Structure 1
Amino acid sequence: MKMRKIGRSDLLVSEICLGSMTWGSQNTEAEGHAQIDRAKEVGVNFIDTAEMYPVNPVRKETAGDTEEIIGQYFAARGGREDWVIASKIAGPGNINEEGILASNLEARLDASLKRLKTDYVDLFQFHWPNRGSYAFRQNWHFNPAKQPSKAEIEDNMRGVLDEMARLQKAGKVREFGTSNESAWGMAMWLKLADEMGAPRMQSIQNEYSMMCRLYDTDLAELAVHEDVTLLAYSPLAAGLLTGKYEGGTVVPKGSRLDLNGDLGGRVAERTWPAERAYVALAAQNGVDPTTMAVAWTLTRPFDCMPIIGATSVDQLEKSLDARDVTLSEDLLKEIEKLHKLHAMPF
């Protein structure tokens, strides 16, 4: 397993991150622990969670259960110091009605630390911006004119950055990152942090896969010049790129498609032709479609680390296999052809 640093930080992590968002809903505690054990065996030392997890579905009464499952793992097995743990504070919504404020940052962090049974989080991320986001298919009707004024946004950011500096100095957080953020938002965080001498945002956790490539332009340019790492969530496009749905003709019991119907808006008119094309390309080249999808994220011209998730160790293996796979130049060219033929399928 290759190791890399996140952003300009000293956080040395496996280039594949273990995601945990199904633990507590689609997965039991024992199944979550088995995934951690297997990931560790092949060199993974990086795990991502959030105060709102598990998902499928997201419920206020179960929020935090995934962090508790991870905390129970370390209580039983030890070895916390061997792992880089990333968690997130939710943006405005039913999990955190106030949103991300200087006044509530420590309290919400402390709640995560208690569930995780640790004194610090290595990477603390802001799950989505207070002002709103174009993530989660909101790009189709995104209207930044409805956001608060720039002065209001900047005032909030400055207050939060002051608190970030205090929490870092107190040893509760090693580094910070964003999630579901835009190029403008990330640029503002970096600009203000530089002006204030506050902690910089080292990473951005946005959706990214062969079927979701909103990151490829402005954010990619920012990432290269500002040394920001993309932590790519849903590199399998919520399971579409595994081929398990067989072009929409099969809905496995207990799968995300079975549980929420449209995969968070990913099932659309052009989804299944794109899915069939990528899965067929993998078969033509003798590679598992899951492995191809994860391995592809490691080929990008900017710093990109995939966050893999699964509901079984067997499923996890196919994503972990990407650590030893190098996609040929010919295959990469074919993937780009499909990208142009099936651009923005959802």
Structure 2
Amino acid sequence: MRINSLCLLSLVGSASAFSGSITKNLVVPGLQNGMDFCKLGTSDLEVSKVCMGTMTFGQQNTLEEGVEQLNLAFDNYGINFIDTAELYPVPGKPETQGKTDQTVAAFMKNRKRSDIVLATKVCGFSDRMTWMPRKEPGTPTDLTKEQILFSVDASLKRLGTDYIDLLQLHWPARYTGGLFGQPDFSPSQVKESVPFEETLEALQQLVQEGKVRYVGVSNETPYGICSLVELSKNNPQKYPRIVSIQNSYSLVVRKDFEAGLAEACYHHQVGLLPYSPLAGGSLTNKYADKDNVPENARYKMFPGFMDRYYGSENEAAVKAYSNIATAKGMSPAQLALSWCYHREHVASTIIGATSITQLKENIEAYDIRLEDETLADINRVYKKYTDPTKFA
């Protein structure tokens, strides 16, 4: 057992507060120093510092390939944390919706359920996503009480389990600005939306029914974090406490979190679960030659979603970070992942891969600790390219 200071984002104050974040270090094949674990936010969920993302399962990966990846991660690397979503795989479409959950269910079928920390997500508002399974077919997704309750029951059935460890709101019900690379907040775009209270009431019911253990958010803002936490603090019997936030966070997407969310999450004891630590794969630098990108690569499959990584200043930023990696004798992916894994803001980093070779490299990057000189080089690039993925 040892204290992993990287898990202490949610702990403030005296030394006695640190007792809740003593973590084990499990030595496993492929990791020289083993996999670390920490408590997530204020919960008692003990999660591995690397989390298995699954959004390619059922689209870029078959069910069998997905199960193979999960088996490798759990059995060879000591990972215990899986993240899925009712929307997955992506890009979301009616004919594949739910296939990711089927893969996760196949993996869990012959395993002890208590050995797995299972996270999933319910869709936020979208008037374009009218094909998701809902009580009333053709309904735009939203975070109403009825939709959340229906969504969770459907997820439990697909996953073949009777409870979810961490249920997350995939994106807000309200307009926030800045979501998925879009322009920042504009007051003129604000519209009426489902109130926080209704959403929290649904989550509390699920917790009381034993269908959900803890709740979190995704793609949230400081306003959202503070509002949700304050409602829970003022009425803990009626509203559950959020314990985590899953937001995009990487070498090229860090300003949004570090400039405001980091402080809110620290003081409200909300653990960060970064997704897309390789910025859609762009930080591997494998898409530098756009004329030779494989057809099944995300760059080709997500033409709109991926635009933010291939316009404006992002390509120059990626090249600069890749040059640092080369100078330090590591791959661009290893540099980007090691940086994210060991940031003091981070609880557990969500990774994804489409091949076993990629998965091994991604997980084993956890053993790399960047030197102060390397971190200084990274910060110099960050000062030049502070927010390179924003659409113009």
Task: Tell me which interval the TM-score lies in, with the shorter structure as reference length.
Answer: over 0.9
Q: Pairwise CA RMSD of aligned residues?
A: 1.6
Cα–Cα, structure 1 residues 37 and 144, in superposed 2: closer, same or farther, change >3 Å?
farther
CA distance in 1 between partners of 2:348 and 2:278 (Å): 13
Say if 2:299 is the partner of 1:226: no
Matches within 5 A, 1:41-80: 41-55=76-90, 57-75=91-109, 77-80=110-113
Q: C-alpha displacement at 1:106, in angstroms?
A: 1.4
Query: CA 1:340–1:224 in 2, change beyond 3 Å: closer, same or farther?
Result: same
* Aligned residue number for residue 205 of structure 1: 246
One-letter identity of the residue aligned with 2:315: W
Unaligned runs of 5+ in 1: none
**1:136 maps onto 2:180 in alignment:** yes
Q: Is the Cα contact below 8 Å between 1:132 and 1:147 reproduced in 2?
A: yes
TM-score by length of 2: 0.83
Amino acid at match of 2:282: L
Q: CA deviation at 1:209?
A: 0.3
- Runs ≥4 in structure 1, deviation > 4 angstroms? none
The equivalent position to 1:99 in structure 2, one of 134, 138, 142, is 142
Partner of 1:117: 160
1:162 to 201, 206, 214: 201
* Counterpart-to-counterpart distance in 2, 1:126 and 1:318: 30
- The aligned amino acid for 1:27 is N
| From 94, 115, 137, the counterpart of 1:82 | 115
- Percent identity between matched residues is 38
**Which SS does the other structure have where 1:2 is aligned?**
strand
Shift of 1:313: 1.0
Deviation at 1:231, TM superposition (A): 0.7
Superposed displacement of residue 36, structure 1: 0.2
Query: Within the alignment, does 1:178 sit opposite 2:226 as a pair?
Result: no
- Comparing 163-172 with 85-94, which one deviates more in the overlay? 163-172
Matched AA of 1:216: E
Pick from 278, 281, 287: which aligns with 1:239? 281
Counterpart CA distance in 1 for 2:186 and 2:99 is 34
Answer whether contact 1:247 1:273 (CA < 8 A) is retained: no
Asked whether the equivalents of residues 207 and 235 of structure 1 are also in contact (C-alpha less than 8 Å), the reply is yes
Per the TM alignment, residue 292 of structure 1 is displaced from its structure 2 partner at its CA by 1.5
1:264, CA displacement in angstroms? Answer: 4.8
Query: Quick check: 1:92–1:98 contact (8 Å CA) kept in 2?
Result: yes
Q: Compute the displacement of 1:59 (Å).
A: 0.5
Give the superposition deviation at 1:301. Answer: 3.3
1:334 paired with 2:372, answer no
Q: Which residue of 2 aligns with 1:13?
A: 47
- Match in the other structure for 1:289: 332
Unaligned residue ranges in structure 2 (runs of 5+): 1-34, 133-138
Question: Deviation per CA, 1:289-342, whole angstroms, max 9, x where unpaired?
Answer: 212211111332323421100101111111101221111111111111111122
* Equivalence for 1:27: 61
Question: In the comparison of the two structures, how many residue pairs are matched?
Answer: 339
Deviation at residue 148 of structure 1 after TM alignment: 3.5
Question: Which SS does the other structure have where 1:18 is aligned?
Answer: strand
Does the CA-based 8 Å contact 2:50-2:348 persist in structure 1? yes
Under a length normalisation based on structure 1, what TM-score does the superposition of the two structures give?
Answer: 0.94
Three-state SS of the structure 1 residue aligned to 2:64 is helix
Q: CA offset at residue 269 of structure 1?
A: 2.7
Q: Which residue of 2 aligns with 1:260?
A: 302
The alignment partner of 2:308 has SS state of coil
